Amino acid sequence: MRASTPSAARGQVDRGEPCQATAGPARRTTAGAVVLYVALWAAGLSFVSGCTRSAERVAPGRCPVVPLGLVVETPGSQPVEILSIDARGVLHGGLAGGQRELARLDGRGCLTGNDGVWVELTSGGDLWTLRRVFAVDGEALLVGGKRVRIAPDGTISFTGPDGAPLDDQYGSFRLTGYRPEAACAGRILLVTGLSMMPSMAVVDGNPRTLPPPEDSLCR
């Protein structure tokens, strides 16, 4: 099963420039499609996994581990928790029985699976993945031409470059258990979820990959 992703959306630092990966038919993807992608991913199809990790180092507490759930809702359907992080930093897939450990988040801001680092908090505060770097600008995460913000109640909003609200592409997202100290863990959970979306997942034959940050704490 393949989901095509324009080359412009791969292997890049995402600084908010317009991106074809979020345009076109994928805008109407429903929660059912999100659920399908999460199910495939939890079964072993990793979209953001990357470089092999070295022996773990002591976490300096840059990214407090806070229990959170990433929930997607669409009109007329029940909320679905697609991903969650528990108090130990273990990432679970909501459709994998909730018990299978997919990856683990630590206080360095490293989300690491058996096959390597999936998401890393860089020294500059951005979020590295194997396919792109998601820039953080103040309280906003930059995703293509959109600014993504997490409200104090965990509600996630998408706005355009002009600040105008954008229609939800995959339903509305919400982080359960969110509080101020969960900002880093919440962004990492959100980036992990967004990386599984049909318009952003890179599953073509020879995708371009990014090198790890030079001052990486995760390897």
Per-residue pLDDT of 107-128, as tens digits, reads 999 999 999 999 999 999 999 9
pLDDT of residue 4: 38
Domain that includes residue 123, residue range: 12-194
Q: Torsion over CA of 23, 212, 34 and 197, rounded to 10 degrees? A: 10
* 183, part of any domain: yes
Interatomic CA distance for residues 143 and 6, integer angstroms: 15
Give the pLDDT of residue 204.
Answer: 52
Whether 67 maps to a domain, the answer reads yes
Q: Is 209 domain-assigned?
A: no
The mean per-residue pLDDT over the stretch 82-96 comes to 88
**Which residue has better confidence, 34 or 131?**
131
For 154-205, the pLDDT digits (tens) are 999 999 988 898 876 557 899 999 999 999 999 999 999 988 776 554 445 5
In a domain, 106, yes or no: yes
Would 203 be classed as within a structural domain? Answer: no
The answer, yes or no, to whether residue 39 has pLDDT greater than 60, is no
List, for residues 1-38, the tens digit of each pLDDT value.
Answer: 433 333 333 345 555 443 333 333 333 344 444 444 44
Q: Is 31 helix (H, G, I), strand (E, B) or coil?
A: helix
pLDDT at 96: 53
Q: Is residue 171 part of a domain?
A: yes
Residue 190's pLDDT is 95
- Work out how many domains the chain is built from and give that number: 1
Residue 40 identity: L
Q: Tell me the C-alpha distance between 129 and 13, whole Å.
A: 10
Confidence (pLDDT) at 138: 86
Note whether residue 217 is domain-resident: no
Q: For 59-85, how does the pLDDT look when each residue is reduced to its tens digit (9 = 90+)?
A: 446 899 999 999 998 878 888 899 999
Q: Is residue 208 part of a domain?
A: no
Kindly report the pTM of this predicted structure: 0.73
